[in-house]
A and B are shown apart, each in its own frame.
Chain A
Amino acid sequence: MEASPGARIREGDCAVLKRGEVFKAVPVLRRRKIIFEKQWFYLDNAIGHIYGTTFEVTNGGNLQPKQDVEETTTETKEAGTDNRNIVDDGKSQKLTHDDIKALKDKGIKGQEIVQQLIENSTTFRDKTEFAQDKYIKKKKKKYEAVITIVKPSTRILSTMYYAREPGKINHLRYDTLAQMLTLGNIHAGNKMIVMETCAGLLLGAVMERMGGYGSIIQMYPGGGPVRAATSCFGFPKPYFDNLHEFPLSKVQSLLSGTFSTETLPSDPEDNALVEEESNGLTEEKQTSLQETEEEPTTEAPMEINQSEEQETMDINAEDVEFKENKEKENKENVREKQMKQWERRKKLTETAALLREKNADGLIVASKFHPTPLLLSLLEFVAPSRPFVVYCQYKEPLLECYTKLRERGGVINLKLSETWLRNYQVLPDRSHPKLTMSGGGGYLLSGITVVLDKGKSDSSSLEALKMEEPSPKRCKVQDLHC
């Protein structure tokens, strides 16, 4: 879904709050208290504004669009040349914690507080211009609390998840995700097979790049797919029409031809914890992003059986009439349940048929599971001359995967890689890489499928030899263009 000129914040949206480099995804709901960066506020006033608007938090906990204030034109600042005489004894700031708190309570704007801090600092005028700049930036960051509300996108959500909850996404760094989307040639019209345990982030990224065209079959472990992050993207409903899911536990039977819908993975309706939200998310889940993977039902875009709830709530029905009505209801519930069961089975059969065509345009995997069994089985569903990418937090399982794929044959251009990412501070006379960087963003194994030459073992080993990289000493610089 693209933003039409001036996409506006609407109630029910999933929006991302941004302050500096910190992001947080929240549902836009009225009278819902939001906590973000040590501030409490309501989003009500933001509704109707364009995404990208910057707000300030008023004393009442409401949002107010930030007025663009002209920067106080600084007269030639008094500044020092170096810090040889500046002693860091912690006594340079004359304002105490209480003083500052008093200012804040009085409702003094952040900009004014920063001004006060500067005036009450004994060492400020001795600092170099650069040091003064750095000082002001630091104070502004702390006291000028502005929040920008941005529209979710792969860029924003992948950065957010990597910073806040990397464990949920198997430490898939956002640039690694970017590589996957490109290496996998994810684009509109594809028939993609996605297998991920990244809270639905990878699925969302794939859906964004497909723009609602084509189809996606999401393979899932356990009872149902987790799509918490997917709902953050705010895709329009039609996008989900061609999103299918299929349980991993049925893959072997499908491959061997013994697939049946008789035994389904645990019915999500049996799960005691059933929540209903228009966006499939509750505020608790959003603000703390604590949804566990053992509760796929809450995020799965499947209808929730409300009648189940009613049954569990009913305790003492002493009224006979009540009992009779209840029996009628029960019969209806059973019928409804059967209907839903039948629908599920039907969907599953349809998805199985799609897989059986063995003509998927690509496979993309990012999960906590060992990649080898996933690849060896799921590649069967992919057409020849199509790319596949698998992510693993660790390198070693991909070494094994690579070896097994070579043995299997039917894949070429195998490449094991990782990306190195570095951010920079660019300021006049002060440009340098930033002080911290990510130690690792995971590894990728990518390749292209080819027609599988079954039955000819000697030819496949010859193939493997041909596909093998030349011995190290023959590697030249020209081979390095990746």
Chain B
Amino acid sequence: MRCRGAGGGRGGLWHRGHLSERGQRAIHQPGGGERAVLASSSSSGASRAPMPGCRRGKRQPARFLWQLVGGERGVNHQPTTVTMSFIEYGDTIKDGDTAIVFLGHESMFPVKVQHGTVTQTKYGVIRHSTDLIGKKYGSKVTCSKGGWVFILHPTPELWTMNLPHRTQILYSTDISIITMMLELKPGSIVCESGTGSGSLSHALIRTVAPTGHLYTVEFHQQRAEKAREEFREHGVDHLVTVTNQDVCKNGFGVSNIADAVFLDIPSPWEAIGHAKSALKTEGGRICSFSPCIEQVQRTCLAMEEYGFTEINTLEILLRVYNVRTISLQIPDLGKAAEDNSGTGFDSSNPSNQGSPGANLQQGTVQFKSGVPLREMVGHTGYLTFATKSLV
């Protein structure tokens, strides 16, 4: 059952600058989806004209840029303590990183890399100072007992599979279609409620980075605080504002600037009005996620009443296949006549595509198959999308 809560909190818009180790500064200036100015330094030291896009080559020497780019108000330019982030790939594991320890098939967990600490795994101990820090992401690390693991760079998708659940979360299958149907991209302004465990939030932040922003509302005070903490630890807090309030009563805290609004709350129809006012004057997409069809019906009605168009409800499910080599036995059909040898199986007849492995000695045929799992997720929720009408 999804948990919902309420609470008061801070809202409002604010500006923040963030320095990444690549020497880039991204400043979000909320206000009608205006593209923020991005300044970067090339390896030659010359500053590039602020223009989204172009960074020739990839590896730049780590450099801190002290340039003030419009709108900043006397911020103390200090390197942030978290130098990695979910929105920018890094090559080597550093102190303070959140890394993913991969043990084997679908067995992994996140770890906060810290000098001096030690992590226990079923393969033995991992010492952060010697085994992790300084190593390349994707490296194999041998643990004390001799077994080994892989250390992976975090991504929102890996985070979704490994984050500590405070509520039921959205998985990447739903997140994927939400992202595309809301037309999200770098620079987009998104509003979300409820934040929950931050699964979708991380994915949204990744998509709108480096110039967009996520305004996420969570009515449960502790969950809101935990979310803020995680965003900080993951180096993305400059791209997100967590507000602790009830979206149905007080909205998202912003007006007429969002490109998209996402609702995952028990009574989304109560927030449609607020969603509409948060969305930019013209255009803008909305999505509501509800497990129950009754909720969907009420939400669609509310969307229509508020003048949304292109209302469309769908559901998406993931089907996973295990790749297996299957051996099927050939039945003994006896002999056609007394003096006829052979089992009635034509040995010259190739079996399925792939290996023509008719192993007559053992009377089996081998083939490769994509075998579905015994059980699959049958339902997560209905997704309803709509467009804010121009009228």
Contacts and interface: CB of A to CB of B under 8 A. Distances in A.
Interface of A: 2-7, 50-54, 68, 151, 153-155, 158, 174-175, 177-179, 181-183, 185, 187-191, 208-215, 238-239, 241-242, 354, 357, 359, 361, 383-387, 395-396, 398-400, 402-403, 412-428, 431, 443, 448-451, 453, 466-470, 472, 475, 477, 479-482
B59 A359 contact: yes
Interface residues of B, number: 95
A230 to B, nearest CB: 15
Contacts of A453: 140
Contact of B354 (A177, A211, A399, A425): A399
B133 to A, nearest CB: 15
Contact of A181 (B138, B171, B180): B180
A234 to B, nearest CB: 13
23 contacts: A2-B33, A2-B188, A5-B280, A178-B180, A188-B186, A209-B185, A209-B207, A211-B211, A213-B210, A241-B53, A241-B54, A384-B136, A386-B89, A396-B368, A403-B368, A414-B323, A419-B318, A421-B314, A423-B313, A424-B382, A431-B293, A480-B376, A482-B318
B12 interface: no
B52 A417 contact: no
Contact of B139 (A177, A419, A425, A451): A451
A417 B89 contact: no
Given A213-B186, A423-B312, A416 B104 contact: no
Nearest to A214: B55
Contacts of A419: 173, 316-319
Given A385-B150, A424-B315, 12 more contacts: A3-B33, A154-B180, A183-B157, A211-B185, A238-B54, A354-B57, A385-B138, A385-B151, A385-B152, A426-B313, A475-B374, A482-B171
Contact of A475 (B57, B179, B373): B373
A356 B359 CA distance: 45
Contacts of A183: 157, 172, 176
A399 B186 contact: no
Contacts of B102: 412-413, 448
B58 interface: yes
B173 A482 contact: yes
B187 A2 contact: yes
A402 B57 CA distance: 32
Contact of A450 (B91, B140, B373): B140
B35 interface: yes
Contact of B155 (A54, A387, A477): A387
B137 A385 contact: yes
B317 A5 contact: no
B377 A482 contact: yes
Nearest to A462: B148
Interface in B27-78: 32-35, 38, 51-59
B33 A182 contact: no
Contacts of B206: 185, 187
Contacts of B376: 480
A238 B52 contact: yes
A103 to B, nearest CB: 28
B282 interface: yes
Contacts of A385: 136-138, 150-153
Interface centre among B179, B297, B370 (most CB of A within 10 A): B370
A182 B373 contact: no
Interface string B74-117: 00000000000001110100000000001011100000000000
A99 B181 CA distance: 43
Contacts of B58: 191, 214-215, 354, 357, 359
B319 to A, nearest CB: 5
